[in-house]
A and B are shown apart, each in its own frame.
Chain A
Amino acid sequence: MKRITRRGFIRYAALGVAVFVGGGVAGRYVAPLKMTTYGTRHRLAITEALAQMVDRRPVYHWAFEDLDSLEHLPQMPGPLIQAIEGDEVNFSVTNTLREAHGFRIPGVPGEVGAGIVIGPGETRTFEFAAPVGGSYMYLDHLNAPVNRVLGLHGPMIVLPKSGNTPYSEPTPTVQSLFDDLGTTDFFPGEPWRPERTRVWLFSSIDPRFNSMAERGESIDASRFREEFLPRYFTINGESGAYAAHNHHTVPSGRIGQPHLLRLMNAGMTADSPHIHGNHVYLVAWTDLAGNYRVEDNVRFVDTFTTDPGGRMDWLLPFRRPPDIPGDPNIPLRQLVRTELSLTLGGVGQSPLTYPMHGHNEISQSAAGGNYPQGMVTGWQITGDLDGVDFPPSNPKEQGGVNEETHGGH
């Protein structure tokens, strides 16, 4: 099998997590998701799985499986596919289920962009040239949006062949934004690096429909659109505390280390993701006409809409949070020394952590409540601009036990 040769893996035996640490051209690939596939040949299966929700209830899903993964497990979302513009990408997709399924990557020219149909038990092999740099989502386009929402979706990242932005064809303003990172007073620190990337793939799950699929019943797409009542909300397949404390999802760095966040919405709900601590630049998005494009008039926002099926790229500048009072020339490790030394509820206030969550707060629920076990994650600032990390908090516990929250109802 043809693979990019220079690659390396670290395996965390306990978690079964693979992290890519290759160099050279291959080193431009990133590994933000739990599982990722490498190189330009991908052998996927369309299969079924019982995915455990945040409250440990199993929910039947249709899911992709990376047949070359050592995990031998389906994944939700599907594995992260990475390519460089122009790469010859080869897919072999086997449908192990009882009904036809599809494979489509919106935005890719040719047959894979139009959608390929794979009959029960069939394997389809196809090739395409990796399209222009950007964020993509592969999905089962049949019976839309049912098959996508029942689990058959995954992220694809394409990097440009050259340049210092994530795009092959950046607009002049996006080019100047990336040129300014690390070179202007407003963005002291470093330029963006491709490995400073996270995928935030949102989905929503209504188990009533998943049960219908499990029983082999056909699902009417218009009824699905009409009656869908999400019970679980996920980011990269995880909810709540799991998504908020997974370092493959949570960007982490010192002040001056900008990250690109690639948001995708495979679910059914319009949400309003809000990030704390820094505003972000909306550099590319699926606009209201339905086209994913690099933006020319780049908003600086703390909240923006994601629509079902949409994609959106945020540049998180990792600026020193601008509303911390005091002399901006004093490193935070000295300016807010007391705060960073505190341990509250058994958790240190160092490093500084900030949430990102759906502000259509309905998405913060799981099983109809249990705030905030829904669509939430975050980011963390580990140190100052001068490269010195914040000291760890004093492990001595401070703050009271929240008796009132205990007991819930």
Chain B
Amino acid sequence: MAPRSIPLRPVPPDEFPIFHKHVCPPTFGGEAIDPVPPTRQIARNLLVNRDLELRDGTKVPMWLFEDPDDDTESGTTLPGKTVRTVEGDIVHARVGAKTNTHTIHWHGIEPTSMNDGVGKHSFEISGNFVYQFATNQAGTFLYHCHKNTGLHFEMGLYGAVIVDPKKPDIPEAHGVPDPPYPAGGPGFVRAFNPPSHVVRYDVEALWVPDDIDTRWHELGHNAFMQKCDPDNPIAAEDFTQDGFLNDFRPDVFGLSGEAKRVDDDSPFERAAVHAKVGQTVLIRFIDAAYNVNVIRVGLPLQLIAVDGYPRGVPPAGKYSRPINLPAGEPIRITAAMRGDALIRPTEPGRFPVAFDFFHWVTGKRLYTARTFIDVTAR
């Protein structure tokens, strides 16, 4: 007997608009919808073409966000310039799509659908749009373009969103500027520490592992997209059949915006941490890689938060508690997971940090990115 067919579910014509929008979102723009007066205003434009230069002189084309209010180098970086807000802020984010259409998804921040930056659930920006959201939870989040995301995220359209707690009125707060706290520290972070549930840190680091398949970086904005036919959005002939966005073979590996070829095992300098004995170091990590990542830190650490929410802090964190990890204990993460960790070095030395990249299908190790924590006497 010949095998029987399991057909695709029939799509009634009144579902065609939603199937069509799934692939071809409409465009929209303008001021915030249902506006509330903002307490903080930021802006980002997409996108700027920049080459990432490797040690051997090879250039990898990247797409970056730019902050139109910052015309220095720090306005156009990889990862994108950090969006830094304060707990309780109402943010108006003016986003300009300068080439083609884009969105920004504020990953882990949870506003309405139109402010969530996913085209198929709302729209893609043509021109400008002002996203409106609150940042009610202090922690580490992420922003990225959510269009043809496999490609746009890979091309570098991602950055950190850091939401700071308000400065507590305690003696330890002397010498700490008002939030948003400066990149690199000092500042305060939400963590289990009753009754205030904030902890002062002296040094702050942002670790963002990434993996790059340079073949993908030659592709165009809409590479391998399905052709849109509003009258028949499921037509077989409109599907691209020649794409390779399912075939990810990274040959370059990155850490916090610095990148090396697979055969270059020199240490990553930009992610290196410099601290003194007795200081508190806050590590924020965001996984921008597609392969599985395992982080090993040569010092004991305390995992205080995952995906922006602090462990052990009620009400949301009531069902968890911080985890103390001995030196070298693996932390396994996959794409877009985040975490915050505290390290309190007790002796001087250079302590190794390794990021192992494991293939997303075979599980084989592809590369180890090495950096370090330098601790000097107080």
> Which residues of A line the B interface, CB within 8 A?
14-15, 34, 47-52, 54-58, 60-61, 63, 73-76, 173-174, 176-177, 180, 184-186, 214, 225-226, 228-231, 237-238, 240-242, 244-246, 268-272, 274, 276-279, 281, 288, 297-305, 321-326, 332, 335-339, 342, 344-347, 349, 352-355, 359-362, 364-373, 378, 398-402, 404-409
Contacts and interface: CB of A to CB of B under 8 A. Distances in A.
Nearest to B141: A302
Interface stretch (B102-110, B266-274, B367-375): B102-110
Interface string B119-143: 0111110100000111111000000
9 contacts: A270-B360, A272-B336, A272-B337, A305-B332, A345-B24, A347-B17, A362-B290, A373-B22, A408-B238
B243 A345 contact: no
A52 B4 CA distance: 11
B6 A51 contact: yes
B101 A402 contact: yes
Contacts of A276: 105, 110, 116, 118
B101 A231 contact: no
Interface residues of B, number: 108
B242 interface: yes
Contacts of B248: 362
B228 interface: yes
A58 B7 CA distance: 9
B332 A288 contact: yes
Given A230-B361, A241-B233, A305-B292, A344 B100 contact: no
Contacts of A336: 33-34, 112
B10 interface: yes
For chain A, what secondary structure do more than half of its interface residues adopt (helix, strand, loop), or is it mixed? loop
**4 pairs of A and B residues whose beta carbons are closest in the complex:** A369-B224, A369-B243, A368-B243, A346-B17
Interface in B193-230: 222-228, 230
Interface of B: 3-12, 15, 17-28, 33-34, 36, 90, 100-101, 105, 107-114, 116, 118, 120-124, 126, 132-137, 148-151, 153-154, 222-228, 230, 233-234, 236, 238-248, 287, 290, 292, 306-309, 311, 315-321, 323, 332-338, 358, 360-363
B121 A355 contact: yes
Given A15-B10, A177-B319, A362 B245 contact: yes
A303 B316 contact: no
B26 A399 contact: yes
Given A362-B290, A371-B225, A408 B240 contact: yes
B25 to A, nearest CB: 6
A52 B10 CA distance: 12
A252 to B, nearest CB: 14
A14 B10 contact: yes
Nearest to B126: A400
A368 B240 contact: yes
A246 B9 contact: yes
Nearest to B24: A405
B279 to A, nearest CB: 28
A297 B247 contact: no
A339 B222 contact: no
A50 B6 contact: yes
Main secondary structure of the interface of B (DSSP, over half): loop
Contacts of A359: 334-336
A291 to B, nearest CB: 16
A408 B337 CA distance: 31
A409 B136 contact: no
Q: Max chain B CB contacts within 10 Å: which of A73, A305, A332?
A: A305
Contacts of B7: 52
A301 to B, nearest CB: 5
Given A365-B243, A365-B245, A408-B226, A325 B113 contact: no
Contact of A279 (B9, B23, B226, B309): B309
Contacts of A240: 22-23
B334 A272 contact: yes
B3 A297 contact: no
A303 B316 CA distance: 16
A300 B309 contact: yes
A342 B123 CA distance: 11
A349 to B, nearest CB: 6
Contact of B228 (A174, A225, A301, A406): A406
A198 B323 CA distance: 30
A16 B134 CA distance: 44
Given A305-B334, A361-B154, A372-B149, A269 B361 contact: yes
Contacts of A241: 18-19, 22-23, 233-234
A402 B26 contact: yes
Contacts of B307: 279, 299-303
Given A228-B361, A362-B245, A54 B113 contact: no
Contact of B26 (A268, A300, A352, A401): A401
Nearest to B118: A355
A94 B289 CA distance: 44
B319 A281 contact: yes
Nearest to B242: A368
Interface centre among A58, A270, A336, A406 (most CB of B within 10 A): A270
Nearest to A240: B22
B225 A322 contact: no
